[in-house]
Structure formats: structure tokens, C-alpha cells
Amino acid sequence: MASQLLDDTVGNVLGERATYVYTTDGGVAHNMTQDAGNAAGVGNVLSADADAPILRTSQARPIKPRYILLAGPGTGLRRKKVVIGSAANAAFNGTDSTVTINTVVYTIVTRVGERNSRLKIGAPE
């Protein structure tokens, strides 16, 4: 089956998908599916644990994951919102000011920390 191209939250076409680790601020590891180019560009780690709970992209998740907002060079490229798998990631903790995704250098514009969802559920999805 051919992979589908999807749009992310700010209108960028997404490429191949892969499963990465998202570790909550509380230390719980989840699997999350992400665009492989975006995730590799920001340094997210591929998941090797198929049994880890899945961090869904729906509104039914217990947290709103941390992310960075990126701006492309010039005015022709759209901004990208990329979820960051670890709070220790250099793109998130302020060590890096740019990231390279698919040979394009993006400037980190905003870093947004993890937040609790308003939805109250007993266990992670």
C-alpha cells in the first residue's frame, strides 16, 4: 500500500511516517507517529517498544505534547509545528536555534511546553 501524504496542523505536506518515543514530563514513555523527516531533523528517537502506550493525535489524549514552531528561510516556506519527544532535546531546551529538515534550515520561533489536557481519563491511550 502506498503511503499517503497528509497536511500537518499548519498546512505542510507530510511525508513518510514512523513511530517515535515521546516521554512525558512525568517520565512515561509513549509511542507517537510522526513525519520521519521532521522527527529526524529535530532529533526525536525511533521507538523500539511496540508495547508502549500510544500518544494519540486526537483530542482524547491525557496531555498536549511539547512542540516547537519553525519558520523557513525567506517568505516562500510555511511554518512547521513539530512535536518534540524529550524535554532534554537541544531543539526544545534552547541549546539549538535552528534545525535542518530535508536539507532546509528552519529557525526555531517558539517552544511550547507540555500541558495537561482538560479531558480526564484513567489511563493513557
- The whole-number pLDDT of residue 89 equals 93
- The whole-number pLDDT of residue 112 equals 94
Q: Please list the rounded mean pLDDT of every run of 10 residues in the chain (125 residues).
A: 44 74 91 90 92 73 85 77 93 90 89 77 50
- Of 55, 21, 15, 54, the closest CA to residue 37 belongs to 15
- The whole-number pLDDT of residue 110 equals 92
AA letter at 41: G
- The whole-number pLDDT of residue 109 equals 92
Q: How far apart are CA 46 and CA 19, in angstroms?
A: 6
Segments of the chain assigned E as strands: 17-23, 29-35, 63-64, 67-71, 80-83, 98-101, 104-112, 115-116
39 by Cβ neighbours in 10 Å (0-12 / 13-18 / 19+) ranks as buried
Report if pTM > 0.85.
Answer: no
AA letter at 82: V
